[in-house]
Every structure is written in structure tokens, then in C-alpha cells.
Chains A and B, each alone.
Chain A
Amino acid sequence: MRRQSVILGLLLGPVTLFLGVFFLLPLLIIALFSVLTPGLYGGVEWAFYHWNYGRVFGWADGITEIYEPVYLSILFRSLGFAAMTVGICLLLCYPVAFWVSRLPQRWRLVFLFLITLPFFSSLIVRLYAWLLILKPSGLLNGVLMATGLVEAPLEILYTPAAVVLGMVYVMIPFMFLPLYGAIDNLDRAQVEASLDLGATRVQTFVKVMLPQTLPGIMGGAVIVFIPSVGNFIVPDVLGGAKGLMIGNLVEQQFLSARNWPFGAALSMIIMSVVLVVLLTAVTRARKRSDTR
């Protein structure tokens, strides 16, 4: 039917054009820049250059570019920080999500509102609050010293612990909501049936609850992991030292070192990590839903 195709074109045309030009094309341009030669004064030369990757992965020739193992360790540190963020978020959110799901309707709505509220408030403001708390002269040290728990201020700010704490703090709502959805969907009668059939609470949790809430856990993990890997705001504000995570490294290439091709190569590495995680999650989820 011609009429239908015209309407479909009107609905989808602008979006397709917009995302094609301003989303797909920029991604392709990153891929292209990542194999171009960095120019002398911050520009690029349009010649193929694979040493942008060589610097990271170890095949740099040692003359024009030098292999720096620190880049790989920064990459692994970023992955590690992101994984820790996921793990801590999960451990904090699962019990609370369960608790909220078992509250009377009225209170459930109140606490769900409370969990979504931080999502609506500014990220930078929330990080800034932690800056105030963690500073050597900040609230936490003030309280600790006033109560005599410590004698000298603790150095918490500008440590990896502060970075992970900050990421956990800003990511909590993203972990909580999928988890809550999965736990709330779980048929309460199944839990009761398991207990009725003689399983202990721990057995019931491991054998009934955990498998059935796994999609929520996976969803939350992916949603938390992806923005954490490439994060540069949190390490910048709470991590202090430059180049703590791969995101900081990218930012430096673009705004201070002015080596765009190297920055593009680093972005490509972040993007591949994300794509691998996403594809694994999606295929896993498909497999699970197929076997049902």
C-alpha cells in the first residue's frame, strides 16, 4: 500500500536522517581518526597510522611512538573500578529492593519515590557533596576527629576508594530499579512453596529467588557497568590524580594533549568493551528466554 509507505517515511525519515548523520557518522569518524597520523600541532595528517593502538597494546616502534604499559594498566583499572561499582551496587541494592518490595503499598511508593529522586537531581551537585564530605578538612574527618576515632585527618579524597564510592553513589538508582522490578515480579507463592517444601531461607534464596531475578541483576549490571567504564567526571572530581581511568586519558587527548587520533583509538577501545558486554548480555538474555 503506497499510502502506508508514505506515512512510514514521514514518521521514520527525520529520525533516521538525524541519527544517521549525528550518531552513526560520528562513530565512523572516530574509527577513521583512530588510524590517522597525529599532526605536529594538534591537527591530523590524513595518512594511515596504526601506532595509536600500538602505544597501548605494545607494537609501537619505540621511535615515533613508545609503548607505555601504563595505558593497559589504566584500561584494566577502569574495568576493575567498573566491576567493583557493579558488585557493590548489587550488594547494597538487592537487600533493600527486597525490603521495599515487602512493604505495605503506601510505604513502597514512598521509598520508590525516594530512590528515583536522586536520579532527577544534578549529578555534578551530588558528586560535589562528596567532595565536601571527604575533604581532609571535610565533614567526615571532622566527625571522626571530634569523636576521637582518628587523630589525624584520613586521606580519603583523591584515592581509588573515593572514585569507587562516588561511582556507586551516582549509579545506585540504575541498579536499584531493574532489581526491584525483577524482585517485585517474583511470584510470592513460589517463595512460600519452596519454604513449604522444606527448603531453608538460604536454599530458597539460592534456588528460587536468585535464578528468577537474574534478568534484573543482569540488566542492572549492564546499565551500571557501561557508563562506569568510560567515566571521567567522577575520577576527575574525587580521584584527583590525572589519568586514573581511561576516560580521563581520552579527555586529556582532546582538551590538553591535543592528540586526537590517540584519543580516538582509546575511545574505540572503550566502545569495543561496551559492545562486547552488550552483545554478551543480549545473547545470554535471548538464550534464557528461548529455553523457557
Chain B
Amino acid sequence: MRNPLGWAALTLFSLLFFAFIYAPLFVIVGYSFNANPVNMMIWEGFTLDWYTGLFGLTERSMDANSRAAYIESTDQMLAALRNSLFVAVFTTTIATVMGTATAIALARFRFRGRRLYDGFLMLPMMMPDIVLGIGLLIFFVTLGMQLSLLTIIIGHCTFLTSYVFIIVQARMAGLDPALEEASADLGASEWVTLRKVLLPQLAPGIMGGALLAFVISMDDLVITYFVSGTGDTTLPVFIFGMIRRGVKPEINAIATLLILASVAIAALGLWLRSRKTD
């Protein structure tokens, strides 16, 4: 493709494309430092108030009532963050164990209906989340199960197991089956082979799958929206509610912190992937 003009046009288009992707994120970061408390669209100078406010450190002129309301909503947000982390940690653990076990089973055993099972595991991932969300809602309510963090964890595990499965399966496919045979040949039982050969070899895939499950669980809005009880919201649902009710400047600070966290996680993922190739 040695057409300098064409290449230049393509480069310009691509750079605009990346600007389109990143501009909104920078907009949030910018606004998060805007001191104007009434209209966040009008720049009124630099402040860190919204960040310090998130952690209840701000000394702003407020009457006692609004101060109490303010602290309450901050507490709610921190509680939502805690809930999100709690759900994500448990979901990641369960989904990673189940997804890995399935990937190993489907790669190493030949049984009737194996291909069907393989296709079945794609379904939770391809099912629109709203369908899965309301299905679980009706199911839990019909069964008389209280909506809680547990129902959120269950909801997340149904589709995140598939994500982990796909990633570990890809790693599994690149693995020489002779490795496990060599281990068995040298006297290791299935359990020892799993511990000493299979899991260490699969580790990058398992870590990658777990990371993805964690990120998606932290970010899931739709399924959580339907199966969370009134008291147990997660951070995305909390932010969604805030946007619906009308935004307060703190949301920019929260959003900026979330963007930073995602950059950190993505960098971690990249680092894990680069380590895999040694």
C-alpha cells in the first residue's frame, strides 16, 4: 500500500477515531477539577474538593442538614463500592474455578454431546443481559429468595463462567497433551498432574480469565440492576441512579477514579500477557 496520500488520509482518520474514543474520558477528568458547585459546565477554577469530599474530608460551608445528607450519600457510595468489590471477588473466584474445570474437561475428555456442551456454554455469554436479568429476577422471586448480594453473585457467575471458560480453553488448546501424559507416565496421579503441571501451565489463561471476570463483574449494570435488593446496590447501579436523579459534581471525581482504576487493571492485564511469552 505505497500510496502516501492515501496512507496520510488513513492515518488522520485513525487518529480522529482514537480522539473520539478518548475525548469523553478526558472531559470527565477535566470537569472533576472544576470548582463550580452549581453548574459544572461553567469553569470556575481548579479544586480538589470533590475528591476530598468523597472521603468525607471536605470543610465546606454547609448547613447542618445538607451536610448530613451529603455524608449520607457519600456513605452510600462507599457502601456500593464495598458491595461491588465483595461481589466481584466472590464471582471471580467461583467463575474461575468452574470455567477452568469446564475448559479442562472439554479439552481432555471425549464424551457424547461434547460439542453440544461447548455450544451451550456460549449461550450465557450471547444471551442479552436484560433477558438473563429478568429471568433471574422472576426465578428468585418465584422461589421466594430474598434479593441480596448473593443473588447478584449468582447472576454474575452464570455468564462470567463462560468468559473464563473461553479464555482458559484457548490456552488449553495451545497446550501439548503429551505434557499431562508425561506427568502420568512419570508416576503422578491425576490430582498431582493437575496441581504440578496443568494449573501452572494454564496459569496465564486462568489469570487472564479471572481478571476479565473481575472487571466485568465490577462493571455489570443490567443484571445487577434486576437482581439486587433495595439495600444492596453496587457502584455501577449507584452511579446509574445518580445520573437518573440528576448529577452532583462528586460523580466526576468518582468517574475519574474509576477510569484510573481501569487503566491500572488494563496495564496489569498487559503485563500478565507479556509475561506469558517468556
Contact = CB atoms under 8 A, between A and B. Distances in A.
Interface stretch (B10-18, B52-60, B67-75): B10-18
A264 B121 CA distance: 23
Contacts of B135: 26-27, 29-30, 267
A129 B20 CA distance: 12
Nearest to A188: B1
Contact of B109 (A4, A138, A229, A230): A4
Nearest to B220: A123
Interface stretch (B85-93, B100-108, B170-178, B201-209): B100-108
B199 interface: no
Interface residues of B, number: 77
Nearest to B262: A121
Contacts of B24: 126, 129-130, 132-133, 169
A132 B134 contact: no
Interface in B34-70: 39-41
Given A113-B270, A125-B239, A270-B131, A29 B161 contact: no
Nearest to B40: A132
A131 interface: yes
Contacts of A96: 13-14, 17-18
A254 B134 contact: yes
Name the residue among B6, B131, B132 with the largest chain A CB count within 10 angstroms: B131
A120 B111 contact: no
Interface in A98-157: 98-100, 102, 111, 113-118, 120-133, 135, 137-139, 142
Given A120-B269, A270-B131, A98 B10 contact: yes
A18 to B, nearest CB: 7
B33 interface: no
A260 B154 CA distance: 21
Interface string B21-41: 111110110010000000111
A7 B111 CA distance: 13
Interface residues of A, number: 77
B266 A30 contact: no
Contact of A274 (B99, B102, B127, B134): B127
A263 B134 contact: yes
A274 B128 contact: yes
Interface in B220-257: 221-222, 226, 235-236, 239-240, 243-244, 247, 251, 255
Contact of B13 (A95, A123, A137): A95
Contacts of A236: 244
B128 A227 contact: yes
B180 interface: no
Interface stretch (A8-16, A59-67, A177-185): A8-16
A172 interface: yes
Contacts of B98: 14-15, 18
B138 interface: yes
B28 A125 contact: yes
A47 B40 CA distance: 53
Contact of B41 (A100, A138, A169, A274): A138
B190 interface: yes
A233 interface: yes
Given A14-B101, A122-B255, A267-B131, A129 B25 contact: yes
Contacts of A284: none
Given A122-B236, A129-B27, A260 B21 contact: no
A18 B102 CA distance: 12
Contacts of A18: 98, 157-158, 161
A120 B137 contact: no
8 contacts: A22-B158, A30-B138, A120-B263, A122-B255, A132-B27, A137-B41, A172-B21, A271-B127
